[in-house]
Structure 1
Amino acid sequence: MVPLHSPTDFIRVIEACRANDRLAQKELYEHFYGYSMSVSFRYVSDREDAVEILNTSFVKVFKNLSSYDLDKPFKPWLRRILVNTAIDHLRVRKRIMDNGDIDMVHEPGHEETITGNLAYEEILKLIQNLSPSYRTVFNLFVIEGYKHEEIADMLQISVGTSKSNLFKAKAHLRTALEKLETK
């Protein structure tokens, strides 16, 4: 496998993938495997589900590679496919629970950060322990940067439910962090 260090190497691999070259597809898959797994794990806590999301996403990548613009960065394009596939996966498995419409949700005045002395793996574990609906909204809002209106459209929930799920996710994380601090 030739590493994809230069733009020329990357373009060569993309063009070969577009021509259905299986070795090039394997090269692209292996190159972005780690990144894709980390994105997938933001939405599910089970490794098998993450691999399923990753594999389904790469099928979509190879199928739609002709629509990818070589002048733009590949990772955001891939991330969008991964996130949409994760949402579809959760929807199909019916693991997103609609907690009802809540129009008014009190948000704290100061955003609290979830950093401090915790390692990345510890933070990821706390996020993975959230319910699927809380975890999905938290990831889309905090990590991916979507607005509540966009999240509501993607998940087919109300804006109020999106805000409520984010508020509850933050509350659960705050409680979990407090428990860790007292240990």
Structure 2
Amino acid sequence: MIREIIKGCQHRHRQSQKKLYKMFYAYGMSITLRYADSRDQAAQTLNDAFMKVFTNIDQYDINRPFKPWLRRIIINTAINHFHRHANEPQEERLEAARNAVSTSETITSGINYAEIIDMVQELSPAYRTVFNLHVIEGFKHKEIAEMLDISVGTSKSNLSKAKHNLQAILEKNFI
């Protein structure tokens, strides 16, 4: 079934594109939400990614799994979005929370997926992007540095700060 839909997309059939979009929308949103500031921004990033998919579907090898190919396009689109907005002024919302909270208690309450995404979205774009690429996607710091055009040291520093800020957010929200 997926092969038929992809072949239809390769022939630019709108119905096939619509089917593919609906089939992978939730999967794509689960990725873009981790990188975006908001649900609207995640949806925009996902729509941009699907435009790239439909534009470049002829490059997809039908003999390989589709999901990893799609995932890579979605992640690259999120990184492109990060680059476009990297120079916009960002406020450090968590600085006060980070300095105000100093507890070593372990948080054991159940946290659902939506709450985790909300907390990750509170991170600055630079911290959030490195956190997602390293922790969620499994990229090495050298790879992240190349993708984001930053140094390996900056990647490591951003990850450390992201983890520290997430800990502060967890403590603020669940203690």
- For normalisation by structure 1, the TM-score amounts to 0.81
Structure 2 gap segments, 5+ residues each: 90-106
User: Partners of 1:116 and 1:127 in 2: how far apart?
Assistant: 17
* Residue 27 (structure 1) aligned with residue 52 (structure 2): no
User: Residue 147 of structure 1 aligns to which amino acid in structure 2?
Assistant: K
User: Partners of 2:128 and 2:87 in 1: how far apart?
Assistant: 11
User: Partners of 1:138 and 1:33 in 2: how far apart?
Assistant: 23
- Residue 14 (structure 1) aligns with: 6
- Residue 169 (structure 1) aligns with: 162
Secondary structure (helix, strand or coil) at the match of 2:86 reads coil
Secondary structure (helix, strand or coil) at the match of 1:42 reads helix
Kindly indicate whether structure 1 or structure 2 has the higher relative contact order, using CA contacts under 8 Å at least 6 residues apart: 2
Where do 1:44-59 residues align within 5 Å?
Answer: 44-59=36-51
Q: 1:11 to 1:156 in 2, by over 3 A?
A: same
Secondary structure (helix, strand or coil) at the match of 1:126 reads helix
Structure 1 gap segments, 5+ residues each: 1-8, 98-113
Residue deviations 1:137-157 (CA, integer Å, cap 9, x gap): 000000001000000000000
Report if aligned partners of 1:95, 1:132 keep a CA contact under 8 Å in 2: no
User: Partners of 1:39 and 1:61 in 2: how far apart?
Assistant: 15
Q: 1:39 to 1:145 in 2, by over 3 A?
A: same
Q: How many residues align?
A: 159
* Residue 130 (structure 1) aligned with residue 126 (structure 2): no
Q: CA deviation at 1:81?
A: 0.4
Bigger helix share = 2
User: Residue 130 of structure 2 aligns to which amino acid in structure 1?
Assistant: V
Q: 1:130 to 1:64 in 2, by over 3 A?
A: same
User: Partners of 1:115 and 1:143 in 2: how far apart?
Assistant: 21
